[in-house]
């Protein structure tokens, strides 16, 4: 049974992942909260788990970090043994199975898995192991504000640069209206040529200034 402290800890966060032309763009903010208290202002919620795959995390920090370590290890072992990267759908299924096996004492998380194999993929995976593939997805308490931006501005044929600007605007909108979301925005881009690349913070700040968005 999840106690009251756990219920408080699982709230908060904004993450997003979108598919653009030949790539995936993923982003998060960094605020970590317990109820209305800001526990940490610089929490890492975007994690590379393989050369061409990444996860965003929302929920209990300890649960999420354990799952990041599990997935990083499993995907690396697969690549070393098979000499190819694990397909993104297989990675999502693996995480789904881990979560489903623990659903009676669950990991309190909402996770996005994104990456590129033959084509770009975004999967949203819930605490019970439900896995849904989509062209864009968002998790956390700020997700309603992100979806408001994406519903209006998303196109599947967007360039990587357009996709980066869209997720920056979406996370910025959530930060303005969701008290559990805040701090620096982390953005990662995954494509077949370069694998996972995280944008420098200065690049993200320049885009925020370009659109006159509030920090």
Which candidate in 11, 13, 14, 33 is catalytic?
A: 13
CB 176 within 8 A of CB 95: no
Q: Is 139 a catalytic residue?
A: no
CB 47 within 8 A of CB 57: yes
Q: How many domains does the chain have?
A: 1
Q: For residue 215, is it within any domain?
A: no
The residue segments making up the domain with residue 205 are 4-210
pLDDT digits (tens, 9 = 90+) for 76-93: 999 999 999 999 999 999
**CATH number of residue 192's parent domain:** 3.60.20.10
pLDDT digits (tens, 9 = 90+) for 88-119: 999 999 999 999 999 888 999 999 999 999 99
pTM: 0.92
Q: For residue 138, is it within any domain?
A: yes
Tokens 């697969």 locate to 78
How confident is the model over 125-152, as a mean pLDDT? 96
Three-state secondary structure call for residue 81? helix
């Amino acid at each position: 049974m999840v106690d009251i402290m756990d219920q408080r800890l699982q709230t908060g966060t904004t993450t997003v992942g979108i598919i653009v032309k030949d790539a995936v763009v993923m982003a998060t903010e960094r605020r970590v909260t317990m109820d209305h208290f800001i526990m940490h202002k610089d929490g890492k919620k975007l994690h590379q788990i393989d050369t061409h795959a990444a996860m965003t995390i929302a929920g209990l920090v300890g649960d999420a970090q354990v799952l990041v370590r599990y997935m990083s290890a499993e995907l690396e072992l697969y690549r070393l043994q098979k000499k190819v990267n694990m397909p993104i759908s297989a990675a999502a299924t693996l995480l789904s199975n881990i979560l489903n096996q623990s659903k009676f004492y669950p990991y309190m998380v909402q996770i996005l898995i994104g990456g590129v194999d033959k084509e770009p993929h975004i999967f949203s995976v819930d605490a019970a192991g439900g896995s849904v593939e989509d062209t864009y997805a968002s998790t956390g308490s700020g997700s309603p504000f992100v979806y408001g931006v994406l519903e209006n501005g998303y196109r599947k044929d967007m360039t990587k640069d357009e996709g980066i600007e869209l997720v920056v605007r979406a996370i910025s909108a959530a930060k303005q209206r969701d008290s559990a979301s805040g701090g620096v925005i982390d953005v990662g881009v995954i494509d077949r040529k370069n694998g996972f690349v995280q944008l420098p913070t200065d690049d993200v700040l320049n885009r925020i200034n370009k659109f006159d968005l509030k920090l």
